[in-house]
Copies of this chain bind each other. A is one copy, B any other.
Amino acid sequence: MSDKYKFELTEADLPKAWYNINPDMPVDPAKTAWNAVLHPGTLEPVTPDFLSVLFPMRFIGEAMSLERWVEIPEPVREIYKLWRPSPLHRAHRLEKALDTPAHIYYKYEGVSPVGSHKSNTAIAQAFYAKEEGVKGFTTETGAGQWGSAMSMACSFFNLECHVYMVKVSYNQKPYRRIIMENFGATVTPSPSDKTEYGRKVLAENPNSPGSLGIAISEGVEAAVASNGKYKYCLGSVLGPVLMHQTVIGLEALKQFDMAGEYPDMVIACAGGGSNFAGFTFPFIHKNLTEGQKTRVIAVEPAACPSLTKGKYTFDYGDTARMAPVVKMHTLGHGFMPDGIHAGGLRYHGMAPHVSALVDSGHIEAIALDQLETFEGARMFAQAEGIVPAPESSHAVRAAINEAVKCKEEGKKKVIAFNLSGHGLFDLGAYDEYLKGNLKSTSGYSETKVEEAMKDLPQVAL
């Protein structure tokens, strides 16, 4: 066992293929329908033709692929090399601060120039669009992580990038807007008058602060209306997005070889599920094929607890019911979570793959209050230096809780979590926390969920 602080791979160690969990999904497809994507109008399975209006063909092919290892195209690997492989840290100083016998490791995705894991799939999606000769992308962004990653990726491939940014974030998080514009993207506050749906929303409510659901609808509409000039891209939930993120877990596996240890548990936060899947699916693969017994823990916010309190059923991907219908843990497409600071975890649903594996017991799920997560994040920063993103702080706190349990039980476990991004764009949230203005998580209630689920799609699959 090595006592180093960082386990760093070289460019030569960068994975040559992503891990595609499709062929290994240990669940009944009839029951879980994890690979079903239904048309929001007809509720029939969509055709590649339908999807190809929105997504590059190679992306659609990946969604349906049953190959376990999907080659990472060389131009994508070349760009990964700008910041990958990302380091695996041993949190020696945090262990000491907690006085725990546990060994705590974290994989750090904040080394990406835009500060989060999102670039791993943005680069791939931009390359696929470039291959097909389109002019660029339309997309949406909430807090801005996805929009910044996509703007950078488009800049690298000389593609246009048109981002619909939830208006309240557009106004509150100017730094995210600016970094997108610096990469050459155009950023439009949503709802906007650029799309029919946006105009409809504005007509009903001129002061609408916007929502991710509305922004998705505008991004989709703009791509469809462009007649193939622009593709649309999504930063989570879909199978290929989850797969692109597995570069994280695959690197981590090699790094644990270097460390001479293997994790007893792997932890990541889950919003749409791509960060979580990217880190943990390669470990699940080991559980399935090599008899490892690593616990796999998804952490979500108590304000938006799709996995721990949602229903496992078919639902629309967006509020406006324009996005495909999939089977997932959902709070209802009409669920509007409170404005917690972990903006990336405010999605009403969850990736179908992750949902199916929670349903089957391969993944555990827990929910944490935002006061706990900020407390944990601050403890982490004071020990390790890095200020975690509010989303990542959910994983941080869960790891701390497990390490404290190890101390109480006198057990030396190996705990690993994914620090999906840094919080340098989110210091406003820390300010609220430090000033004592943050409230314990509210926003979830059974009646609210019942209301949001009123018009679930009626699917007989």
Contacts and interface: CB of A to CB of B under 8 A. Distances in A.
Interface in A334-352: none
A5 B387 contact: no
B5 A93 contact: no
A71 interface: no
A224 interface: no
A82 interface: yes
A226 B89 CA distance: 39
Contact of A82 (B181, B184, B385): B385
Given A385-B152, A386-B113, A174 B424 contact: no
Contact of A113 (B78, B156, B385): B385
Nearest to A3: B11
Interface in A90-105: 93
B111 A178 contact: no
A82 B5 contact: yes
A65 interface: no
Contacts of A93: 82, 156
Interface string A73-94: 0000010011100000100010
Given A82-B5, A93-B156, A424-B425, A181 B434 contact: yes
A258 to B, nearest CB: 10
Given A6-B81, A181-B434, A386-B113, A424 B427 contact: no
12 contacts: A4-B11, A5-B82, A82-B93, A82-B384, A178-B428, A178-B430, A178-B431, A179-B427, A179-B430, A182-B387, A182-B427, A182-B434
A257 to B, nearest CB: 15
A89 B427 CA distance: 29
A265 to B, nearest CB: 23
A183 B5 contact: no
B434 A178 contact: yes
Q: Copies of this chain, how many?
A: 2
A321 interface: no
Nearest to A12: B4
A115 B424 contact: yes
Nearest to A175: B427
Interface in A1-15: 4-6, 8, 10-11
A431 B176 CA distance: 11
B81 A5 contact: yes
Contact of A382 (B184, B386, B431): B184
Contacts of A178: 427-428, 430-431, 434
A155 interface: yes
A114 interface: yes
A461 interface: no
Nearest to A429: B178
A385 B114 contact: yes
A152 B433 CA distance: 18
A10 B11 contact: no
A393 to B, nearest CB: 12
Question: Which 7 residue pairs of A and B lie closest in terms of their CB atoms, listed nearest first?
Answer: A113-B385, A5-B81, A178-B427, A175-B427, A178-B431, A113-B386, A155-B382
Nearest to A90: B81
Contacts of A10: 4, 8
Contacts of A155: 381-382
Interface in A361-394: 378, 381-382, 384-387
Contacts of A428: 174-175, 178
Contacts of A83: 385
A155 B97 CA distance: 12
Contacts of A381: 113, 155, 182-183
B5 A174 contact: no
Contacts of A113: 381, 384-387, 422
Nearest to A425: B424
Given A179-B387, A179-B424, A183-B381, 6 more contacts: A155-B382, A156-B385, A174-B431, A178-B427, A179-B427, A183-B382
A93 to B, nearest CB: 7
Contacts of A424: 115, 175, 179, 424-425
Contacts of A181: 431, 434
Interface in A137-158: 152, 155-156
